[in-house]
Structures are given as structure tokens and as C-alpha cells.
Amino acid sequence: SPFFAIPVTTQGSQTQQLQKHYGITSPISLAAPKEFDCMLTQKLIETLKPYGVFEEEEELQRRILILGKLNNLVKEWIREISESKNLPQSVIENVGGKIFTFGSYRLGVHTKGADIDALCVAPRHVERSDFFTSFYEKLKQQEEVKDLRAVEEAFVPVIKLCFDGIEIDILFARLALQTIPEDLDLRDDSLLKNLDIRCIRSLNGCRVTDEILHLVPNIDNFRLTLRAIKLWAKRHNIYSNILGFLGGVSWAMLVARTCQLYPNAIASTLVHKFFLVFSKWEWPNPVLLKQPEECNLNLPVWDPRVNPSDRYHLMPIITPAYPQQNSTYNVSVSTRMVMVEEFKQGLAITDEILLSKAEWSKLFEAPNFFQKYKHYIVLLASAPTEKQRLEWVGLVESKIRILVGNLEKNEFITLAHVNPQSFPAPKENPDKEEYRTMWVIGLVFKKTENSENLSVDLTYDIQSFTDTVYRQAINSKMFEMDMKIAARHVKRKQLHQLLPNHVLQKKKKRGFIRSSPAPAVTAASVTNIQASEVTVPQINSSESSGGTSNESIPQTATQPAISPPPKPTISRIVSSAYLLNPSPRTSGNVATKMPSPVTAVKRTSSPHKEESPKKMKIEEDEISEDTSCIDLNEHEKMETKVSMPRPCNFKTPSTDLSDIPALPANPIPVIKNSIKLRLNR
């Protein structure tokens, strides 16, 4: 329900109305800023400046000019289309058409050199096909336009271009209106009626951004706080929607919720309160900026009472515009654990800043990810050309969260933390054209009793991930023979052999375990393992923290608290793989296992007659007789099993890959590899 706020006038912002709706609960505090808060906010601004988070006025004016040109092009194009379709002259004169912006530029928090997210809104007689043909051609003719490309088949179709040095992504929405008025408010839900789903998706970005700006009590304070939080998240390697952390819109909604709870506070206070609120938040209670409204347009919305799959979301942050969606569905147990830990550390540092025991610069110090963990997985993607590398890296990166999910389900792993930053990797063969990118994943193993030397087998977790990637690449006809994924376990002290100089200032080392596409799989043994639950302890709200212990964080009252789902029994299979055109090095793969909170994917193929069943997972140092062992690195006690290639008649592909056409019928060598490491206690 709305609450009554004291009217406050702030610099360069709107005067607060006497009656204003600031979210779904009452505020925690209406306290106005003190002189000390103003001084701390000024210090925060000075600290942010060197990081390039503020754009120069000249650059800002250039963006406005470019968007003006683009807007005129849209109007001109829509008039031309209207004339070609013989609309009455009176309609043509007022037909309109407009470029709207969304994302960080619209929120007013874009950094130097950032791209612009834009939406082209057209009246009903302009088709989507017109946008991707005649408007595309019109853009092509502009001398300022470079790198023009259309991605018409994307989930949200887009034209990408560089306009006078500024990267712009343009989406398209065709509204059921005869003309597009200049003062059109895209937040109007009735605009969505009878629209194509691609138009609804395209409108969503603008509608969400506009709602956020209308739901914060003071836009200037919101913007400065959000700039600080986004920089902090990037510096701490937790800014990435695709890898299971939070993207820009999610960080914006968390900051907006903080502003609602402290409507009169300024940025220095809001940054501190942000960490206070979200270090104590009882996930998976959702973060909502407004009460969800039902529009009777029958679009799917986030609602755990109706949709069972929504109950498994670990950190729901719900977009405020209809149809409401969870912007954080990629978050996993590990990424949430990492973020909550960062919130707590942020709270401790801002407590110190408020007590004048530390400077703002401490908050933005980048922690050393490569000192944080004892064990790491290094994942490498390579392709023969730069163009293929970009495609391949995009696909691999979009699937890394599946690997993280697989690793989380391993009963000996507590945490798998992927660093969102990727690194260039050295060529394996200097004479061969090859483009390589790598990612690093930090691992925390569970402390177990009565085991001095514990062997943990990661073969299944890694190979099922690589199979997923290869399968998608083959199905989407993107796959080229020399596109490869390699994975390797390393200890902290060995990272200097693998990472580029600008990260660790040491030489790099080569030699990876390769995986190649596997069209068929033989299951050597199936063992049920009860996946052990990773519990994140709830913070007691009475814990003392810089004099803030008496503040209780209001959770969402309207949604029932969602209890975490029961942990399923996971069927794990150690298997060998049949390889298509394997490289001379050791390689192998198994069928896909998609991380699901409910079930794990089982293998359907039966054991190969030549294979003897292998014991499962965590044997103390046992190696089957039919494999020869190559020790990659004795001091890290990591083993790779390689069975020598044997001919095998490949008759039927596994059911997992039955949709792949024309698999070869010639003999294919069998190569088995396993990634096994022994933890010395």
C-alpha cells in the first residue's frame, strides 16, 4: 500500500509528491541525509571518476545527436513505407514512428564507450520483414554506419550496427496503432494486446527500464548508487547474467528496492544499505518493486504458486512490467553463495567507511580470484578462424553454467565459482592457425571425515558439459571440425603455467585434456548417489553490524516463502565415448546431462561388449586393468586414463543424438579419458 513521504527537493531531480508509492512494503527509514553523508557522497563521486563510470558532456551530446539522426531515419523510412502502401496523405503526415532507448543508457548509468540499446516502434502497417529489409538497406546507405548485421532468427530479433563510433542494438516492435504519437508511454499494458510475441519481447526492455525509473523516489540518488554497485560487481567478478551472476537490469532492481526502503537517503547511505539489505535477505523470497498485476492477456508470468519450475529459482528478482519475469533464472547454488558472501564483505567494508576507518577505494579493490581457491578447472575453447572463435566462444560461454550445475551436483564439491572474465590462450602449435579462449573455475571441495587421500572423478561432469555444447553446435549447423573444447584441473600454484602474463606475469603452459563430439555412448556402470545438500545458513537479523542490527529487512509479504526443493537422487554413470574424427591426443565425451532441480538425465545405451564395468567415482586410487595410466603431473596427483584406440563397428547412434543426420558408419576408434584428482589432506 502507498505510504506518505515528507516532500523533499533534491538537486537536479523532481520534487517528491506528498503521496507516492514506493514499493510493496513501508520504508525502513525516512531519515534525511546529514552533512557527513553529503561529504561521504562527494568522496564516493571522486573515487568513481578514475574508473570511467561518468561520461564527458561532449560524449553525451554526441550520443544524443546520433540517436536524433537515427530517430529521423526511422520517421523517414516509415513515411516511405506508408506511401508505398497507399495510405491516405492525412495519415502519412502524422504517421510518426520513434526510437526509444532502454538499458544502462536509458537508466542514465552508462559508462564511457558503452553501447546503446534501442527500440524502433512502428505503426501497424509496417511489417517486421520491412524492418529487416528496407530499413536495413536504408541504414546500409548511411556513411556513418559500419559493421551492420541483422540477427533476424534470434529469440529477440535485432539489427546491430556501429553508428559514428557508437555501438547500437536496435530491436523492432510493431504496435496495433495507425500512428505513433510523440508522447507514447510504452508502460501502457493495453499496447500489448494482440501483439506478436517477438514484439512483446522487444518492448519488454523499455517497459522494465521505464517502470524502474518511475518506482524510485529520487532518480539522481538511484543513478549514483547504481553506478557504484555496478562498478563494485564488475570489479568483484559477479557481473554476468549469462554465467549465472546478475546482469545490469537485476543490479538496477536491487538498487531500486534499496532506494524504496530508504526514500530520503543519498548515495553514500544507499550503498551501505544495499549491502545491509541483501546480505540479510532470506532467499528465495523474491525481490519485487511493485505488486504484480494481472492483465488478462494470457502471457506467462513468474508465479511459483502456478508454475512448478518457478519454485526452483534460487534468487528471484522480478521485473516490474507485465509480463513479470524472473531476471535471474540462471543463478545457481554456487553463484548465489558467491554473491551473498560478497554482499557480506561489502557490508563489512562500508561499515568501516561509515566509521571513517576506510576509504571508498577499498570497496572497489579487485580481489585476487586466482589466490582465492586451491583447485581450479581451466576450460579452453579453440577454433581455426577468428570469426569461428567468436561464434564458438559465444556458444561455450552460454553453456558454462551447465558445467557449474554439473560440478555442484558432484557430492564432493561445495562450490564452483566461474570467473566471468575470459582470457586469450597461447597457440598449441605455433605453425597452425588457431584462436583460443579460456575460462577459469574455482572449486571448493567438501571436508570429509576419515579420508586422507580422496579421489574425486570429474570426468562425467566435464564430459557431459562438452557433449551438450557439441550437440547444440551440430544441431544448429555451426560446428566445424576444428572447433574444440579442452578442460584441465590445476592447483593454485600451477595457474602461472596456464594464464597469460597480464594476469599473473608468468609463462604459460600447454597441454589439455581434449573432448570431441560423441555420437554414441556406452554406460560402464550406473550408481545412484544421493546428492548432498549445500545449505546456505540464514543470517540472524539480530547480528550486530555497524549499528544496524535493529533494522529488520521486509521480505515480500504477498508471496509465500518458497522452501528449497528436495534434493533429488542423481544417477551418475561412468562411461566411455565413441568419437567422431578424434584428434591424435586423448579425447572423450559422454551424453548430455542438463542440470535440473528435479531429475538428472540417464544414459540409455547399454555397455559395449568389450568394456568391463568400472567402479564408481571415489575409489581410493583404483585403476581398471584395461587402461594404461598417464600421469599429467605427479605433484598434483591428477590422473588421466587413456585406453588405446580399438576398431569398433558403429551401428546405431545413442538415443541422445538420434536427431543428428548422417552419422558415419565406418569404424571409429574408442578413446576413454577420465579426469581424476586426489585430494591430499
Tell me, what's the pLDDT at 293? 82
Comparison of pLDDT for 123 and 604, the residue scoring more = 123
Cell of 670: 574408442
Q: Tell me whether residue 111 is annotated as binding.
A: yes
Mean pLDDT of 185-202: 94
Confidence band of 336 (pLDDT split at 50, 70, 90): very high
Q: What is the pLDDT of residue 565?
A: 47
Is 103 annotated as contributing to ligand binding?
yes
Give the pLDDT confidence of 238-259 residue by residue, as tens digits: 999 999 999 999 999 999 999 9
C-alpha cell at 281: 535477505
Residue 620 has pLDDT above 70, yes or no: no
Listing from the earlier edge strand, what are the strands of the sheet with 569-578? 520-530, 569-578, 670-671
Residue 255 is labelled as binding a ligand: no
Instruction: Name the more confident of 555 and 258.
Output: 258
pLDDT digits (tens, 9 = 90+) for 407-458: 999 988 999 999 999 988 877 777 777 788 999 999 999 877 665 677 888 8
165-174, 277-286, 366-375: the lowest-pLDDT one: 366-375
Q: Which of 136-150, 272-286, 414-428, 619-633 has the lowest average pLDDT? A: 619-633
115 annotated binding-site participant: yes
Q: Which residue has the higher pLDDT, 275 or 638?
A: 275
Average pLDDT, the chain: 76
Give percent of the chain above pLDDT 70.
70
- Residue 106 is predicted with a pLDDT of 95
Active site residues: 104, 115, 117, 169, 230, 239
In a 3-state reduction of DSSP, which class is residue 6? coil
Give the mean pLDDT of 88-114.
Answer: 92
Cα–Cα distance between 168 and 170 in angstroms, integer?
Answer: 6
248 is in an annotated binding site: yes
Helix 219-235 to helix 35-48 angle, to the nearest 10 degrees? 50
**Residue 169 labeled ligand binder:** yes
Q: Is the distance from CB of 436 to CB of 562 less than 8 angstroms? A: no
β-pairing, 158-163 vs 166-174, is antiparallel
Higher pLDDT, 55 or 521: 55
Per-position DSSP letters for 353-401, written without gaps between them: HHTTSS-GGGTTPPP-HHHH-SEEEEEEEEESSHHHHHHHHHHHHHHHH
What does the pLDDT read at residue 93? Answer: 87
Between 671 and 96, the higher pLDDT residue? 96
User: Nine-digit cell at 80?
Assistant: 516511405
pLDDT, tens digit, for every residue of 141-181?
999 999 999 988 888 999 999 999 999 999 999 999 999 99
Sign of CA dihedral 67, 71, 77, 81: positive
Does 3 have pLDDT greater than 70? no
